[in-house]
Amino acid sequence: MYINVTDKLQDLLSFALSAQATDIHFFPEHSSEQVVVRYRMNGTLENRETLPMLLYEKLLQHLKFSSSLDIGEKRLPQSGSYLFKLKNEHFPLRVSTLPGRPLEHLVIRLLPSQTLQLSELSLFPNQTDQLFAMSQIPHGLLLVSGPTGAGKSTTLYALLQTIANAGHKHIVTLEDPVEMSLEHIVQLQVNERSGFSYAEGLRSILRHDPDVIVIGEIRDALTAKMAVRAALTGHLVLSTIHGSNAFSVGRRMIDYGVLEMDLDDCLLGVVSQRLTQLTVSPANKRTRAAIFDVAPNKTWKTEERHYKGINQQLLKAYVCGYISNSERRRWTMLEMEA
């Protein structure tokens, strides 16, 4: 039976949006010649359906072409993004492929269709007030951490738009890929194949007289050192980094070769974030909200066992009736395993 690739993609994305899924995973299985489709919902992967291998191959080619990826390249990982139109509305997607057998693995990340306000993100308003206050300091390094799917990029974009709206700042971003277009901001996209890496991009940005520099993610030693250097030379630098809390982020920066005294001098703070499923009630129309722990600059040097951090915020949300005990325990267990 013939199935139109575009129609199938619309079906997959329609379900993902209605279920508030953050990602769609495709797992080709050699034994069954089928592709298992899984959706990440509330942080966990759930099986939804299977696709014939031939249909998946066409879907993969369609997505690679739409995301400006090399259709013929199957041996190397690739990532890109594009706007998908569904019911007269455009939704930004991030497409990532990994080489595999019998076919490449594919993940589609669903991104917010518009930048949210900082006030719309957090469950507790005082947390976004703290975050905003840090972003008003003219120079230093502010890091947003959390597991995959915690909403780090969404928070970064909201914070960035808030700074841009205030005016009088030259803001330049370096992203891989650019996930959302923003007004009054210069956005650069990393392109490793053409030699435009994070390191090369940062060198170029520093020559462009920026006030605020945004790095999509600190993922290696060279990027970490250059981010610290930019912060120490009078720029406000914002970035995301994988880590469960301020302690793991501080240790990771040191592991990347950043000098402890330099980190002490430039680090404004670490924002640990979790995206929680809210308890449904008439008084609360939102179904999900971020919970933050905003840790000041030298928190990572205190004794970790004495710092309650994000777990204290999760407990507060549970006691106030915003989240269920199972939701609190889910994130607490992940914190203990990190």
Q: What does the DSSP assignment read for 39-98?
A: EEETTEEEEEEEEEHHHHHHHHHHHHHHTT--TT--SS-EEEEEEEEETTEEEEEEEEEE
CATH class of segment(s) 118-337: alpha beta
Q: Tell me which amino acid residue 78 is.
A: Q
Residue 52 has pLDDT above 80, yes or no: yes
In order of 51, 104, 149, 159, the CA distances from 47 in angstroms are 12, 19, 18, 34
Token pair for residue 245? 């809390």
Exposure on the CB side of residue 24, measured as CA atoms within 13 A = 28
Q: What is the pLDDT of residue 118?
A: 82
The CA-atom distances, in angstroms, between 79 and each of 99, 186, 196, 261 are 12, 21, 15, 36
Specify the DSSP element, H or E, that contains 38.
strand 34-41
Locate the domains of the chain by residue range: 5-110, 118-337
Which pLDDT tens digit goes with each residue over 286-305? 788 899 998 888 777 765 55
- Does the pLDDT at position 56 exceed 80? yes
Query: Taking the mean position of all CA atoms in its chain, how far away is CA 165?
Result: 22
| Domain 5-110 matches domain 118-337 at the CATH topology level | no
pLDDT in tens, 173-218: 998 888 788 888 999 988 877 888 888 899 999 999 999 999 999 9
Write down the pLDDT at residue 125: 85
As a residue count, the chain comes to: 338
Q: Which CATH topology does 5-110 take?
A: Beta-Lactamase (3.30.450)
- Four-point Cα dihedral 281, 277, 116, 18, nearest 10: -90
Q: Is 137 exposed, middle or buried (0-12, 13-18, 19+ CB in 10 A)?
A: exposed
